[in-house]
A and B are shown apart, each in its own frame.
Chain A
Amino acid sequence: MIHVLLITFLITLFYMAIANRMLTYVRILALQGIILFFVVFLQLNEINTLNFILILLETIVFKSLAVPFFLGYLLKRNKITREAEPYLPNFVSLIITTLIVIVTILLSNSIKDTYLDKMFFVVALSALFMGLYLIASRRKIITHVMGYMVIENGVFVLSLAVGNEMPMLVNLGIMLDIFASVLILGIFLNKIGDVFKDVDVDQLSSLKDY
């Protein structure tokens, strides 16, 4: 069951590679949050109430409700166009995503660690690279936030892969990261939306210092 969920997670990554609309990205992120919740739920056998509440908070409330809602609000408020505006055609993106997954599978094969669940590792690593790829290949600033979110989901899965016990510290770290990225970029966007009419990363290059 867990594996099915993880593969679904992987498929959402593929979908992300070819999605055209900003809203789709937001929905995919919400879906990923839900998937992650179930993965954690099934993966962690012994769970105390406090931890459970925390995980519920992080996955369902935060990842699949609050952040997507916030992103949607940002999209509306700043009147960001619905197109994702990738630099590369979707087809190429799909190929690259496939390559990422293949490479991570190859990589995980070379790792000989008995404690590591390979399935988790592959999904986590591909989510990580996928997030980076999303950031690198999309034109809008808001897609950066989404890329970070995907990376964070990857790190989340990785923390599941390493230990059966949910490491509290990693958990809190992820929370903090999410807050930081959403808040910073939220403020950033709110502010920058007033100055630059297009919320486009290209405009940022005028900030470079030489």
Chain B
Amino acid sequence: MNIIIAFIVITLTAVFTIPFLKSKWKSAILFTVILLNALLSGYFAVQTLLGYSFEFLLPGSLVTGMVPLRIDALSGWFMLIINFVFVTGVTYGIFYLKTYPYQKNNISLHAIAFILLHAALIGVCVIQNSIVFLISWEIVALSAFLVVIFEHEKVSIIQAGINYLIQSHVCIVFLMIGFIWVAHKTGSYDFAAITTYATNHNETGALLLFICFFVGFAIKAGFVPFHTWLPYAHPAAPSHISGIMSGVIIKIGVFGILRMILLIKTDYLVLGYFILLISLLSGIYGVMLAIIQHNLKRLLAYHSIENIGIIGIGIGIGCIGLGTNNNVLASLGFAGAMLHVLNHALFKSLLFYTAGNISQYVHNLNLESLGGLIRKMPQTATLFLIASIAICGIPPFNGFISEFIIYIGLYNWLQNATLVPLITIIFTVLGFVMIGGLAILCFTKAFGIVFLGDPRYEFKHEIKEAPFIQLLPLYLIALFILFIGLFPKMFLALLIEPVNLLTGNEFVTSGTFQGRAFDALQTISWAGWGFILLVILILLLRKLIMYKRTTGFGPTWACGYIAPSPRQQYTAGSFVRSYSKLFSSVLLSFRSEKEIRGTFPTEGHYESHPYDKIEEWLIDNPLRAYRSIMGKFIFLQNGKLQFYILYGIIFIVSVICITLFYEKIIAMLSLLLIVIAAFFFTGIIIRVKSIASGRKGPGILQPIMDVTRLFKKGVVYSQTTSYIFKIAPAIYFSSVAIAMLVIPFGQSKGLISFNGDFIFFVYILALGKFFSIISAMDTGSSFEGMGASREALYSMFAEPAFFILMGSLALLTGYSSFHDIFAALHLGSYISYALAILCSFVLIMIATIENSRMPIDDPKTHLELTMIHEVMILDNSGFDLGLILSTGYLKFTVYGALIVNLFIGSVSYEYAIPLFFVIQFIMAVLIGLLESFMARFRMSHNPQFIFALTSVSLLIFFGALLISGKFV
């Protein structure tokens, strides 16, 4: 307990004193504090790895409740890694930051954020109260943001920082959802509640909870497709921070996933396959993109994604082992994963630190302009070489060990696997091997281009090696890399406790990992030693032999093409050219090139910028769409305070009004829905028709735009016409608008609702029709008269159908208003379904007749003699025409709403509203298809057809009689 208090006190004191210190003292204090904190937390960590575990209860506050701190072997392992990386990182960072002596305040902030980052990361490992955990997690995110944007005066860096900040908050949102979910179900913020929840609820609930947490942690860890922040944040940060980010911060995501595996006891098999899939994807995608990068740190950043993938593969295998009760598999998977966490933290931080040396002394990280650095910076080059070999998973370094364990796990799984696991194993091995191969391609490129050959670019300043003291932490890391490679068993002994914790039993026993699977490690260790000794031996032998002979130096011979310009060397781009051509379908690269043509070479250039395809799909495109939608509302943000207050007033008033007039608003709902649907309905019909005839077609909103354009235009009247012609469109529109008010929506009545309102509905529509017919007569044209006569005739035939239909429904339910009929209508038996379908058929047909569409009328016809509705409105123009057209759109959706009412019954609103739009949409598509695949009836067939509808409604009527039992 005292140690924890000391930890907190040290952190806080340091945070508050650093700004007031001289810059010389700042670095000293920073180093001391990190070291002290590391020692304090390391004490617990070492204890846990020896088999102890600790639990402390902090009092917490009213909001959080008790705050349990539990330190088990899993947190211990991660704490050790964090501490190691932070101590080396701070040592390196102090020297790295000496380049910026003038930025006093900035360095203070950086130091404070650094200390907080370390403390909060340790906190994340031990805190087991979800609220405090989230606070700690948030401190990690914010302080990491602060340390990343150290050079915040550069736009690109602040952009990368903001990108990271946003994505880490998306991650927090997912975690929050998960924790709130658990707290809501169990009423406790303790992590133990997660286990209670998972055991007490069904599998899918627990699995979903895990996926929620997994996504949250995966964003932090950088699993594909949640990785997009990573390639920006790593290059933007100063190099020691990149090393720490890659080494530790993304690992905390892995820690979270492992912690959740420990807490959520669910179907591990499914989980394992899921993690395995995502990890393979991450591994392959990460390395594939790493290869084509031109910026060294960006390349390393993509490699972090790859390594997270490898770790994930280990975790996935471990989970599958848990799921199938295969203890060997589980322990191999988890051991591999956790060892790789350490390994990656080591070699990736080393790589970033060496990259930091390059950026500090060369001021350039673009691969294409580097080269030959091994002569200027031999130590850095050697360190980079060691780390490169280690990251490729090649012995005798540490990367090999962890990958080897995972391989062993896979082959162990192979022994008694059935078909599905076999296929999984094969593909995993395939992917794994590919990752390794591509990593080799990538790092031969990186090392070869950066350090070997001749400099590709003349730098004005002198390039020198970093001082030894700065390289000291790097050597320490390199030593560890070699050490793990040569004594893997010692580190595996440390892993016994964490692995046992994860596998949930004491399978792995004292000393070292027992069993056939681990025996190889001893041999590997010997082989590694043997290899090193052999190399030294041969070198000594060579020295002995060459002792007396002469050695000459000269330019590169290269088949006689002696001493070309450095510009003619193999470049990074050309090194991976064949690769990037091969995978051009997966990779995305923006190129600009100008080829050299003609006999005499002219100016030419070639440039390529790699880009991330997943980022384009997952981030850029949705963002662009979001922006284009939100851009339409930017006028709201006009910067005038008064307007903002006004929005507030509008909000308050509407909140009050909605609660007060809830009933009325619900009654308006059908009105609103009908109007909204009308906006799209005709557009969808036209679109469907266009697609069916092989065109793209106009936008969905085109009809509405046409109408708005018409509304803005003037009007031309025929001299023959009277006032009838002028008022008819308005009456036509109003009739439909009033008819709309009658339509109910589910449980809610329309604004007007009374017994027999469907009769009113029909007659108010008839009023509109009456006026549209006489206005056609008003023009005195033969065409329009003809249309009018047809329209009158057809509606005469159509109306009985509607009446009989509604009558039979009224008979079925015993009510006589729309709302009561639809509310009482229950679709119970098969007959009633059949009836409903017949009803909707009749309604759709009536709608098409009312709107003069196929098969009765063809709105696209160009011959006046064959028109019905179109010919009636030939003389209308401008505003009037707009009214008539919009009335048509409304009419469709009014009938659509009736059909919807047939089906929704008393479904609650959250389902009824989507259902409304779905049915309207289906109807629009149906009509569109009908119109594309059907010819118009002959004029003389129309009455027959329409009358057939009446017969169908009679059929419905008899059906209704049958159901209600009145037909004896």
Residues of A that sit less than 8 Å from B by CB: 87, 107, 110, 129, 132-133, 135-138, 144, 201-202, 204-208, 210
7 CB < 8 A contacts A-B: A107-B656, A201-B641, A201-B642, A205-B639, A205-B640, A207-B639, A208-B639
**B642 contacts A87, C-beta separation under 8 Å:** yes
Interface SS of B by simple majority: helix
| Across-interface contacts of B639 in A (CB, < 8 A) | 204-208
**B641 contacts A204, C-beta separation under 8 Å:** yes
Q: Indicate whether A135 sits within 8 Å of B656 (C-beta atoms), given known contacts A129-B649, A208-B637, A210-B634.
A: no
- What 1/0 mask marks residues of chain B from 641 to 654 whose CB sits below 8 Å from any chain A CB? 11101101100100
**A201 contacts B637, C-beta separation under 8 Å:** no
**A110 contacts B649, C-beta separation under 8 Å:** no
Q: Indicate whether A202 sits within 8 Å of B649 (C-beta atoms), given known contacts A107-B660, A110-B660.
A: no
Chain A proximity of B253: nearest CB distance (Å): 32
Query: Once the chains are docked, how many angstroms separate the CA of A137 from the CA of B642?
Result: 7
| Across-interface contacts of B648 in A (CB, < 8 A) | 132
| Across-interface contacts of A210 in B (CB, < 8 A) | 634, 637
Interface SS of A by simple majority: helix
Query: Once the chains are docked, how many angstroms separate the CA of A111 from the CA of B643?
Result: 30
Chain B proximity of A125: nearest CB distance (Å): 9
| Across-interface contacts of B656 in A (CB, < 8 A) | 107
| Across-interface contacts of A110 in B (CB, < 8 A) | 660
Besides A136-B646, A208-B639, A210-B634, 7 more A-B contacts (Cβ < 8 Å) are A132-B649, A135-B642, A138-B642, A201-B642, A204-B639, A205-B638, A207-B639
**B638 contacts A208, C-beta separation under 8 Å:** yes
| Across-interface contacts of B637 in A (CB, < 8 A) | 208, 210
| Across-interface contacts of A205 in B (CB, < 8 A) | 638-641
Give chain B interface residues in 168-189, CB to chain A under 8 Å. none
Query: Once the chains are docked, how many angstroms separate the CA of A11 from the CA of B567?
Result: 86
Chain B proximity of A200: nearest CB distance (Å): 11
| Across-interface contacts of B634 in A (CB, < 8 A) | 210
Chain A proximity of B637: nearest CB distance (Å): 6
4 closest A-B pairs (Cβ-Cβ)?
A208-B639, A205-B639, A136-B645, A136-B642
| Across-interface contacts of B660 in A (CB, < 8 A) | 107, 110
Query: Once the chains are docked, how many angstroms separate the CA of A201 from the CA of B643?
Result: 11
Query: Once the chains are docked, how many angstroms separate the CA of A208 from the CA of B643?
Result: 13
Residues of B that sit less than 8 Å from A by CB: 634, 637-643, 645-646, 648-649, 652, 656, 660
Q: Find the A residue at minimum CB distance from B656.
A: A107
Q: Find the B residue at minimum CB distance from A138.
A: B642
| Across-interface contacts of B641 in A (CB, < 8 A) | 135, 144, 201, 204-205
**B638 contacts A133, C-beta separation under 8 Å:** no
Chain B proximity of A150: nearest CB distance (Å): 13
Chain B proximity of A133: nearest CB distance (Å): 7
| Across-interface contacts of B652 in A (CB, < 8 A) | 132
Query: Once the chains are docked, how many angstroms separate the CA of A154 from the CA of B34?
Result: 54
Chain A proximity of B632: nearest CB distance (Å): 14
Query: Once the chains are docked, how many angstroms separate the CA of A201 from the CA of B639?
Result: 10
Chain A proximity of B236: nearest CB distance (Å): 22
Which residue among B634, B639, B643, B649 has the maximum number of chain A CB atoms within 10 Å of its CB? Answer: B639
| Across-interface contacts of A137 in B (CB, < 8 A) | 642
| Across-interface contacts of A129 in B (CB, < 8 A) | 649
Query: Once the chains are docked, how many angstroms separate the CA of A133 from the CA of B653?
Result: 12
Q: Find the B residue at minimum CB distance from A141.
A: B641
Chain B proximity of A93: nearest CB distance (Å): 13
Chain A proximity of B786: nearest CB distance (Å): 55
| Across-interface contacts of A207 in B (CB, < 8 A) | 639
Chain A proximity of B913: nearest CB distance (Å): 27
Query: Once the chains are docked, how many angstroms separate the CA of A205 from the CA of B637?
Result: 10
Q: Find the A residue at minimum CB distance from B642.
A: A136
| Set A133, A138, A202: member contacting B640, Cβ < 8 A | A202
Chain B proximity of A139: nearest CB distance (Å): 8
Q: Find the B residue at minimum CB distance from A147.
A: B645
Query: Once the chains are docked, how many angstroms separate the CA of A109 from the CA of B639?
Result: 37
Chain A proximity of B741: nearest CB distance (Å): 24
Chain A proximity of B329: nearest CB distance (Å): 54
Query: Once the chains are docked, how many angstroms separate the CA of A210 from the CA of B646?
Result: 21
| Across-interface contacts of B643 in A (CB, < 8 A) | 136
Query: Once the chains are docked, how many angstroms separate the CA of A77 from the CA of B888?
Result: 66
**B640 contacts A201, C-beta separation under 8 Å:** yes
Q: Find the B residue at minimum CB distance from A106.
A: B660
Q: Find the B residue at minimum CB distance from A143.
A: B642
Q: Find the B residue at minimum CB distance from A207.
A: B639
Query: Once the chains are docked, how many angstroms separate the CA of A137 from the CA of B640?
Result: 11
Q: Indicate whether A135 sits within 8 Å of B645 (C-beta atoms), given known contacts A107-B656, A107-B660, A110-B660.
A: yes
Q: Find the A residue at minimum CB distance from B649.
A: A132
| Across-interface contacts of A144 in B (CB, < 8 A) | 641
Query: Once the chains are docked, how many angstroms separate the CA of A205 from the CA of B638?
Result: 7
Chain A proximity of B328: nearest CB distance (Å): 58
Q: Find the B residue at minimum CB distance from A110.
A: B660
Query: Once the chains are docked, how many angstroms separate the CA of A204 from the CA of B640?
Result: 7
Query: Once the chains are docked, how many angstroms separate the CA of A87 from the CA of B660?
Result: 31
| Across-interface contacts of A202 in B (CB, < 8 A) | 640
Query: Once the chains are docked, how many angstroms separate the CA of A208 from the CA of B637?
Result: 8
| Across-interface contacts of A135 in B (CB, < 8 A) | 641-642, 645
| Across-interface contacts of A107 in B (CB, < 8 A) | 656, 660
Query: Once the chains are docked, how many angstroms separate the CA of A98 from the CA of B792?
Result: 53
Query: Once the chains are docked, how many angstroms separate the CA of A107 from the CA of B653?
Result: 11
Query: Once the chains are docked, how many angstroms separate the CA of A208 from the CA of B640?
Result: 9
Chain A proximity of B657: nearest CB distance (Å): 9
Q: Indicate whether A133 sits within 8 Å of B642 (C-beta atoms), given known contacts A107-B656, A107-B660, A110-B660.
A: no
Query: Once the chains are docked, how many angstroms separate the CA of A98 from the CA of B660?
Result: 21
Q: Find the B residue at minimum CB distance from A131.
A: B645
| Across-interface contacts of A133 in B (CB, < 8 A) | 649
| Across-interface contacts of A204 in B (CB, < 8 A) | 639-641
Query: Once the chains are docked, how many angstroms separate the CA of A210 from the CA of B643?
Result: 17
Query: Once the chains are docked, how many angstroms separate the CA of A138 from the CA of B641?
Result: 10
Q: Find the B residue at minimum CB distance from A206.
A: B639
Chain B proximity of A115: nearest CB distance (Å): 19
**A132 contacts B640, C-beta separation under 8 Å:** no
Query: Once the chains are docked, how many angstroms separate the CA of A87 from the CA of B645?
Result: 14
| Across-interface contacts of A138 in B (CB, < 8 A) | 642
| Across-interface contacts of B638 in A (CB, < 8 A) | 205, 208
Chain B proximity of A94: nearest CB distance (Å): 18
Chain B proximity of A124: nearest CB distance (Å): 14
Q: Find the A residue at minimum CB distance from B648.
A: A132
Query: Once the chains are docked, how many angstroms separate the CA of A135 from the CA of B647?
Result: 12
Query: Once the chains are docked, how many angstroms separate the CA of A138 from the CA of B634?
Result: 23
Chain A proximity of B119: nearest CB distance (Å): 33
Query: Once the chains are docked, how many angstroms separate the CA of A37 from the CA of B652?
Result: 28
Query: Once the chains are docked, how many angstroms separate the CA of A190 from the CA of B821?
Result: 69
Query: Once the chains are docked, how many angstroms separate the CA of A129 from the CA of B645?
Result: 11
Chain B proximity of A204: nearest CB distance (Å): 6
Q: Find the A residue at minimum CB distance from B646.
A: A136
Q: Indicate whether A132 sits within 8 Å of B642 (C-beta atoms), given known contacts A110-B660, A208-B637, A210-B637.
A: no
Chain A proximity of B213: nearest CB distance (Å): 34
Q: Find the B residue at minimum CB distance from A134.
A: B645
Query: Once the chains are docked, how many angstroms separate the CA of A22 from the CA of B634?
Result: 34
Query: Once the chains are docked, how many angstroms separate the CA of A192 from the CA of B655?
Result: 35
Query: Once the chains are docked, how many angstroms separate the CA of A144 from the CA of B645?
Result: 10
Chain B proximity of A113: nearest CB distance (Å): 14
Query: Once the chains are docked, how many angstroms separate the CA of A89 from the CA of B660?
Result: 31
Chain B proximity of A14: nearest CB distance (Å): 18
Q: Find the A residue at minimum CB distance from B640.
A: A205
Query: Once the chains are docked, how many angstroms separate the CA of A206 from the CA of B641?
Result: 11
| Across-interface contacts of A136 in B (CB, < 8 A) | 642-643, 645-646, 649
Chain A proximity of B640: nearest CB distance (Å): 5
Q: Find the B residue at minimum CB distance from A104.
A: B656
Q: Find the B residue at minimum CB distance from A111.
A: B660
Query: Once the chains are docked, how many angstroms separate the CA of A208 from the CA of B641?
Result: 10
Q: Find the B residue at minimum CB distance from A125.
A: B656
Query: Once the chains are docked, how many angstroms separate the CA of A107 from the CA of B643?
Result: 24
| Across-interface contacts of B645 in A (CB, < 8 A) | 132, 135-136
Query: Once the chains are docked, how many angstroms separate the CA of A133 from the CA of B634?
Result: 23
Q: Find the A residue at minimum CB distance from B641.
A: A201
